[in-house]
Structure 1
Amino acid sequence: MMTKRPQWAEKTPEMQNYYDNYWGFPVHDDYLLFEMLSLELFQAGLTWQTIWHRRLAFEDAFLGFNVEKVAAMTEKDVERLCANAKIIRNRRKILAVINNARVICQLRENGTTFNDYIWQFMNGKAERLILSAGEDLPAQTPASQRLSKQMRNDGFKFVGPTIIYSFMTAVGMVNARLE
């Protein structure tokens, strides 16, 4: 049986693989959620294909997206990352990833996993979004606006409602997969 894909997922074999095996499936692992949040914030102003193509380089640069290790990064690490031509060398985005790791560590210290923190906005279950053929995903929704606002209030950086909605669809909080 052939997988139905949106147009964006048909553009390259890499995007087909991303759609078929990653995009839109519910994620509940804190490390993978942190990775996806980090990659989504790096996407701002760029294409997802650009980011996904560099995923392994990001994973290497950010120590396997190990939240504790990223939270412990220093200014020396920031300088190293800013010089790494294999990733997007945007200092604000790099600092945001490190900051967000620190916020996640603080959540954990207070007894909350990142998974529980974000999924509470969906009452623990994915929302189904059915689009017409050729219809684009909305840029943001009331749910992404609420989550974004709370995340900013709790100290997360680079988490505007559009980035958060993209994150929500990528990690299956919103199921927009074609059937």
Structure 2
Amino acid sequence: MDHQELRSVYSVLQLIYHRNKNQHIRAKWWKWLAVLKRSASDLPSMKCAAAHAHRQHLINYVIPKCYMAFSSVVADNQFATLGVALLATLARLAKAIGFNQELKAQTRHESRTFATKPCIEDRGERVQRINANAGTSSTARQAKGPTPSTAKTRSKKKSSKHKSTKNAIDDLFSGLL
């Protein structure tokens, strides 16, 4: 790890954080900027064993989450330049802690385990829906047509709509009730 590069990344994150705090503090991605800033500040001062564990946490959890959050800022055209600056700073941090080498090692390990284990896809079971009232499936009920009781209620609704219309406003809101 390059401590000088980590300090430089932290100073950029600190400036972005300080300048944009009032405007973006309620945004969803702001949480990840705060997490990244804290993580970057802690990393240079840690001892060897703790730094390695913290680095693994950054690589496995924080950096991917920050990447997703900052990508949404880039996608929002209003703050695209801020999002690009955040992604560039994240890339500098990832390079400084050796994120690329870690991904290459994980990819090699996953490709070995993937080649040895065949993938079997679960397709599930077909479930037939049964109507609780009639005891028949829904497709059989549709073939028979509507029951006489539903036909009566439909005709009552139609006749009651015409009787209750009083003016144009009532006609507009009659479908809501």
TM value normalised by structure 2:
0.26
More helix by share: 2
TM value normalised by structure 1:
0.26
Q: Which has the higher contact order (CA 8 A, sep 6+)?
A: 1
